[in-house]
Amino acid sequence: MTTISTAVRSARRSRKLTQRDLAARAGLSQSRVALAERGHEDPRFGTASRLLSSAGYRLYAAPTTRDDVATIAAAIGDALEQDQLQLAFRYFVQLNDNLVAERGLLRGVLAVATPELTGSRTWDAAIAALVAYRLNEQRVPLPEWVAEPERRLARARPLVVDEADPVPTRADAPPEFLDHGVLVWADSLESV
C-alpha cells in the first residue's frame, strides 16, 4: 500500500513540480507540502486529495494489501543509497511477487502511481521492465511512466547484485527487459 507521503512526493515529482509549485496550486504553504511528503504527520483526507489533484492525480482505494510500485521503488532507492544491493534485489523480487499475486486491472492499479527514480538508471529501467513484463501478461495497459526515456538504457546492461554472478545473455532475458536495456535471468522472476 502506498503511503500518503510516497503518493504526494511521487505525484509532484512525476509532474516535475517543486514543493512550492504544488503548494501554490493547492493553496497551501510549502511547509505543509513538506510535512505531507516526509510523513511526519498524516494529512487529512481532504488535504491529501487536494495535493494529489493539484498534481493531476486522484486519490483512490484498491482492494489489496500489497505494496505498489512507487512504494517498493522508494525502498529500492533507499537500499541502493546504502549500497545494499542484495536488499534492493529482495525488494525487486517482492515487487515481482506482488504483481504476480494480483490479476487483471488490480495488477495495473499497483503500477499506476509514477515511482520516483532510484538514483540508478539500471534499476529504474529494471523496475519499468518488470512492470511491463507483468502487465503485458494480463494484457493490462501500461502506465505512461514505463516508457519514459530515463527508464530505458541505450545499451543492454546486467542488473548486478553480486559481481560473482554470471551475466545473462540477451537470450536469457524476457523481451520487456531487453526493450528497456536490462539483462536479467528470466528464471529469477519465477516464484520458487
Domains and CATH numbers, the chain: 4-54 (1.10.260.40), 69-189 (no CATH)
In this prediction, residue 169 carries a pLDDT of: 92
d(CA 112, CA 186): 24
d(CA 152, CA 47): 34
In this prediction, residue 54 carries a pLDDT of: 83
DSSP assignment of 79-138: HHHTT-HHHHHHHHHHHHHHHHHS-HHHHHHTT-SPPPP-S-HHHHHHHHHHHHHHHHHT
d(CA 159, CA 115): 18
50's grid cell: 487536494
pLDDT in 10s for each residue of the chain, 192 residues: 457 777 787 778 777 888 898 888 888 888 888 888 887 666 777 777 778 778 776 666 666 678 899 999 999 999 999 999 999 999 999 999 999 999 888 898 889 888 999 999 999 999 999 999 999 999 999 999 999 999 999 999 999 898 888 999 999 999 999 999 999 999 889 864
In this prediction, residue 78 carries a pLDDT of: 96
Contacts 24+ apart (CB under 8 A), 25-31: 25/54, 25/55, 26/50, 26/51, 26/54
In this prediction, residue 31 carries a pLDDT of: 85
Is the dihedral angle over the CA atoms 127, 131, 132, 133 positive or is it negative?
Answer: positive
